[in-house]
Chain A
Amino acid sequence: MININDIMETINMISEENLDIRTVTMGISLLDCADSDPNKACEKIYNKITRMAGNLVKVGEDIEKEYGIPIINKRISVTPIAMLVAASGGDPVLYAKALQKAADATGVNFIGGYSALVHKGFSAGDEALIRSIPEALSVTSNICSSVNIGSTKSGINMDAVKLMGKIVRETAEITSDRDCIGCAKLVVFCNAVEDNPFMAGAFHGIGEPDCVIHVGVSGPGVVQAALKKCPDGDLGQLAEIIKRTAFKITRMGQLVGTEASRRLGIPFGIVDLSLAPTPAIGDSVAHILEEMGLETCGTHGTTAALAMLNDAVKKGGVMASSSVGGLSGAFIPVSEDAGMIAAARSGDLSLSKLEAMTAVCSVGLDMIAIPGETPAEVISAIIADEAAIGMVNTKTTAVRVIPAIGKKAGETLEFGGLLGSGPIMEVNLTKSPKKFIDRAGRIPAPMQSLKN
């Protein structure tokens, strides 16, 4: 018989500490749906997604019931749509609408993959898709978009960075009547991964199998509660506790992933080890850092604490799963984390500190509301800075900022649900990076030796 204390620990994690499976994401390749007629391609896409994922939500719910573990989201990621636009031409928004129709039919929370990979340059379909993003995100509600503008091997495509500054602004403007929600579904990557189960950046990479199941776990509350039991331990001991906790969380993810894969008859891909917070109290990455001894997240020492947390989570998780991938690290989305929201509101957490934090954790400047007056070139410059961190450190970084049209620093954007609410953060608007951004071109790939 299983130890009664172990059973109680698991139940406590679920009922008191917000342990859950954040997402079961089905990756579906749409390469075989390409067609020279965009309407035909859309029909094939709808048919393939509903055929492969018709049972996804039901299987997720069955597993939830049998194992007693909440699965918050059931999602789908698809081949970057720019590749299909390349074959068909025409209006890319048609594809967004087809994906929305498939999302409604399957009942999933999100479909990700309205994406383009342009880290070295634009090919057919890429630019048209990027330019259509504002409209696509405005006429759909469950579609997520991402654009990869740089990588360690190819450098940063500054033409794309320049364009994305404008696109982010346009997306905010076109959805300004809905708290600029479009920008919460748009992420700009450097070194994007092909098997990410988390939104808004999920897409199904071309190196992936035809169809695959990925799992993203959660559990900041569990880590915080475990650390609370060790108020006087040194940092080595804390790292050990985090590792043990991450191991247990990941084992659960692995179990749910293999079970979902068995029931759906689709191969299991990866478990993503990221600690994903929610706005709920007791589900915050910032509060873990504070539990480690920082008076508030954002003060000096935050980067060091986060680096240790991120590394310990990976060390614990790697042993628990047969296959780890995706982003795998602690997320620091400001609007989705109660501790981050509080620290940003009190002024203790600045944009520059967040940028420093992204150098040691996944995934980047995430869910940050910025003043509505922020011009496109400043957004481009923020993207360029973040991409440079990812490019040089051979890691994934991303930018998901939300220009709060008509609002100023200090006010708040309310998204609701898992997206939370974002205090609008200060951005340096006094000095302009316009000339640097307007130069465009490409930042060459960095040296891989002489690393200092």
Chain B
Amino acid sequence: MKTVVSVIGKDSVGIISKVSAVCSECNANIVDITQSVLQDMFVMVMLTEISDLKCSFSDFSEKMKKLGEANGLDIRVMHEDIFNSMHRI
């Protein structure tokens, strides 16, 4: 199963490195990554494959959330199906 990790917040040095460190720690494979500045906000979206996750999904999600809180970022982990179903016919 694939999930979308979205990171929103003020741009700073090392965001991608910190997020990918958590991915690697949990054995989530980064499939695709894209970033941009939207409405003065740094936005990064990472598509990750989590079939072989070392920890539970909620632990992974919780780690990302905590990382976000510690760095003043809004990090969410959401199943890719939600975006596919809402934006594709």
Flag if A6 contacts B86 (CB, 8 Å). yes
> Of the candidates B47, B57, B81, which one forms a contact with A1 in the assembled complex, judged by CB atoms under 8 Å apart?
B47
**Given known A-B contacts A65-B58, A66-B79, A68-B78, A6 and B87 have beta carbons under 8 A apart:** yes
Q: How many residues of A contact B (CB 8 A)?
A: 22
A23 at interface (Cβ–Cβ under 8 A)? no
A252 at interface (Cβ–Cβ under 8 A)? yes
A255 at interface (Cβ–Cβ under 8 A)? yes
In the complex, number of A-B residue pairs with CB atoms less than 8 Å apart: 68
Complex Cα distance A11/B39, Å?
14
> Of the candidates B57, B78, B86, which one forms a contact with A251 in the assembled complex, judged by CB atoms under 8 Å apart?
B86
Flag if B81 contacts A67 (CB, 8 Å). yes
**Given known A-B contacts A7-B6, A251-B85, A2 and B80 have beta carbons under 8 A apart:** yes
Complex Cα distance A11/B83, Å?
10
A10 at interface (Cβ–Cβ under 8 A)? yes
Within 8 A of A (CB), among B32-89: 32, 34, 36, 38, 43, 45, 47, 57-58, 61, 74, 76-87
A448 at interface (Cβ–Cβ under 8 A)? no
A323 at interface (Cβ–Cβ under 8 A)? no
Flag if B85 contacts A255 (CB, 8 Å). yes
**B32 to nearest A CB, angstroms?**
5
Flag if A11 contacts B8 (CB, 8 Å). yes
**A219 to nearest B CB, angstroms?**
12
**Given known A-B contacts A66-B57, A68-B77, A4 and B82 have beta carbons under 8 A apart:** no
> Of the candidates B3, B76, B87, which one forms a contact with A11 in the assembled complex, judged by CB atoms under 8 Å apart?
B76
A15 at interface (Cβ–Cβ under 8 A)? yes
**Given known A-B contacts A248-B86, A251-B85, A252-B85, A4 and B36 have beta carbons under 8 A apart:** yes
Complex Cα distance A68/B47, Å?
15
A69 neighbours in B (Cβ, 8 Å):
78, 82
Least CB separation from B80: chain A residue: A2
B76 neighbours in A (Cβ, 8 Å):
11, 68
Complex Cα distance A10/B8, Å?
13
Complex Cα distance A248/B85, Å?
8
Flag if A8 contacts B83 (CB, 8 Å). no
B28 at interface (Cβ–Cβ under 8 A)? no
A3 at interface (Cβ–Cβ under 8 A)? yes
**Given known A-B contacts A1-B47, A65-B58, A66-B57, A7 and B4 have beta carbons under 8 A apart:** yes
Least CB separation from A248: chain B residue: B86
Complex Cα distance A6/B86, Å?
9
Flag if A68 contacts B82 (CB, 8 Å). yes
Q: In the A-B complex, list the 8 residue pairs whose CB atoms are closest, starting with the nearest.
A: A68-B78, A6-B87, A255-B85, A1-B32, A251-B85, A2-B83, A248-B86, A67-B79
5 new A-B contacts at CB < 8 Å, known A2-B87, A8-B6, A69-B78: A6-B83, A8-B43, A15-B74, A68-B76, A255-B82
Contacts A/B (CB < 8 Å), 14 sampled: A4-B36, A4-B43, A6-B86, A6-B87, A7-B6, A9-B87, A11-B8, A11-B76, A15-B74, A65-B58, A66-B3, A66-B57, A69-B82, A248-B86
